[in-house]
Structure 1
């Protein structure tokens, strides 16, 4: 087998894995999804043979718990050479969009309450009864943990369930609380409380660590040791994903930038977003990183009527590769809420998940196609999706 063919087989297999996963068990569990069984059988057999020839043996692991490993490289999905702009249909026409196959049912109101269910946790959701549930393919299971409302320095309360509470592998959940962060092992049902003084409002997973954001300070919390290290920045600018990425947009105008470590690049959203900026301090609207790309929504530039725009850009260069315009529409057929139409994560390599009022949309950044992912009933007050 040539080196080129081996690389192609590895790339085909890697396209179906969540970022950061290195488990052979994940390859085995997912091999029936998205691609034909015949292609997977040939590819998997060839790769296994190549690994064996090199003296490497891979052992399948349990499907419900996967290690969280920071990827060594960045795989960027195919992106247009020039910026592409897409436009969503009017809000009243969303119901006519094609459905996008997903593990969770398309209508969350149809998911029954059960006391136990096998399989991975696909999402967390808080319903009108005030309880948080683990959402699985077979039903929603109540999460047995005592939590208080998230609270800020002004006394404003909010749900402890945040858009990035669920870990990328679906085995843990993190909830910011005043003076502590609660982390629940969803496999064994055990909770651990980490003391962290202050009004903790946002949690962002960083492998086996958490970036905890407060208005006046940010901390990197090591879940193994319980030690928290204060960061040289503060506020709510972090991006969900494995990389320690931030989107900084000066309130007084000027260039929006992507920051990672000591590096900084301009995010070229001039003429795309309102005043060339990105939302600052909007707790339910942060960026989402996947491989070499980042996605985030903002108010659209120069619109005579209200509209949001979702921006996907290259992390290394700040170049915008694709945008999606989401006109809010007229009452009663409107989309977007007080916080706009936020990005809620990624599905596979190419699809960004966007909240459009009581519906989740999937936007394919390679083809520009828009699909319906799920319908959220009014009783769902908060949720956190597992990227797949």
Structure 2
């Protein structure tokens, strides 16, 4: 077989196919592409051996977990509307670097002054969950030993970790865990636990300043932690945007929808009513062929910007993982971070803001920091797998 034939075989095996349903098909396509590449690699090896060429070693069937973001961008491009991480990440010094450190104390013996993060490790092979850990601003990792939240479940019996991205308050003093028929709130500065009865298969928690929102599959509640009373809010608990802790919290935002129906909704509250205004997302600030197809995870606001992860299209390619930044007033999407296709499905949830930077997870490896204004992407913490909540609203 000639070199030209071998090149054509490999190209055909890895050819992109555009799906009509990117959110569902992107992950399946990545699996097919990897399989096709392995088949092509095996064929090429056999040809070389038969013709007396050099012996090539076959790659393992399951690729190792990536340790860096695998994209082609080499240097940041300031103000570029579509950006990519570098091939090799750097890890500048940060208090969050210690998120994966071993536990050295218990919360009951050493409450924190302020928590920087909560982390629940999960074994990627067995899915066994460890105890929730608390990273304090003193750099010590503590075990949350004063309570063991049960896994959340919905009416159909689907279960998930009790630690959610919105569990930790922005000031790092309180942690909330949704449970079936109750909400648990832990004061991390005193290690005191309080339980609030609230009917429902509760799954979501979200802090808006000092306000706590809790939700089940389709209903959001605002809990008065002083009295324990709760009122129903006419918002989707899946789509609520975590507001800027330094901004107003009397107006709440939701962000959701599918493809051409993506919209930013503003909910303005008064004494006796909640008014809603919808604004379709506007992608005209991006080059043609670049857009968000579907959001996932929690959206986070900082000033006039909102960041959320989703499945995106760039340059006509669908089913990519990415993060979008949009204007909280106009709904104009101003930046996309293209994280590629060959990743774990739903890999890259946004976990909050740190100044002008977006913090996001990168399963199965750790945390990333992205500065949309400059295009800089750096690593934050390596080797993390599990659930994380940051005091980074």
> Shorter-chain-normalised TM-score: which range?
0.5 to 0.7
Instruction: Quote the offset at 1:251 in angstroms.
Output: 4.3
User: How does 1:160-171 map onto structure 2 within 5 Å?
Assistant: 160-171=162-173
- Report the TM-score, using the length of structure 1 for normalisation: 0.68
Post-superposition CA distance 1:83-141 (Å, at most 9, x none):
7221223xxx3xx32223321325x4434422355552111111356311111243211
Secondary structure of 1:105's aligned partner? helix
Distance 1:177 1:211, change over 3 A: same
Distance 1:252 1:83 in 2: 23
Please list every run of 5 or more consecutive structure 2 residues that lacks an aligned counterpart in the other structure: 1-76, 123-128, 269-275
TM-score normalized with structure 2 length: 0.67
Match of 1:356 in 2: 362
2:282 corresponds in structure 1 to 268
Aligned to 2:131: 131
Q: Which residue of 2 aligns with 1:386?
A: 391
Give 1:278's aligned residue. Answer: 294
Q: What is the SS of the residue equivalent to 2:119?
A: strand
Give the Å deviation of 1:276: 4.8
Conserved 8 A contact 1:97-1:370: yes
Secondary structure of the corresponding residue to residue 122 of structure 1: strand
Is residue 83 of structure 2 the alignment partner of residue 86 of structure 1? yes
Q: Counterpart of 2:142?
A: 141
Aligned pairs (5 A) from 1:28-177: 84-89=81-86, 93=87, 96-105=88-97, 108-115=99-106, 116-117=109-110, 119-128=113-122, 130-136=130-136, 137-143=138-144, 144-177=146-179
User: Is the 8 Å Cα contact of residues 103 and 143 (structure 2) preserved in structure 1?
Assistant: no
Higher strand share: 2
Which has the larger displacement, 149-158 or 268-277?
268-277
1:368 Cα deviation from its structure 2 partner: 1.1
After superposition, the Cα gap between the structure-2 partners of 1:263 and 1:147, relative to the gap in structure 1 and judged at 3 Å, is same
Going from structure 1 to structure 2, the CA distance change for 1:264 and 1:256 (only over 3 Å counts) comes to closer
Assess if the C-alpha contact under 8 Å between 1:180 and 1:197 holds in 2. Answer: yes
Uncovered stretches (5+) of structure 1, i.e. residues with no partner: 1-79, 330-334
Distance in 1 (alpha carbons) for counterparts of 2:384 and 2:290: 31
Instruction: Give the whole-Å Cα distance in 2 for the aligned partners of 1:296 and 1:263.
Output: 20
* RMSD between aligned residues: 2.7
Instruction: Count residues in correspondence.
Output: 290
Distance 1:306 1:125 in 2: 29
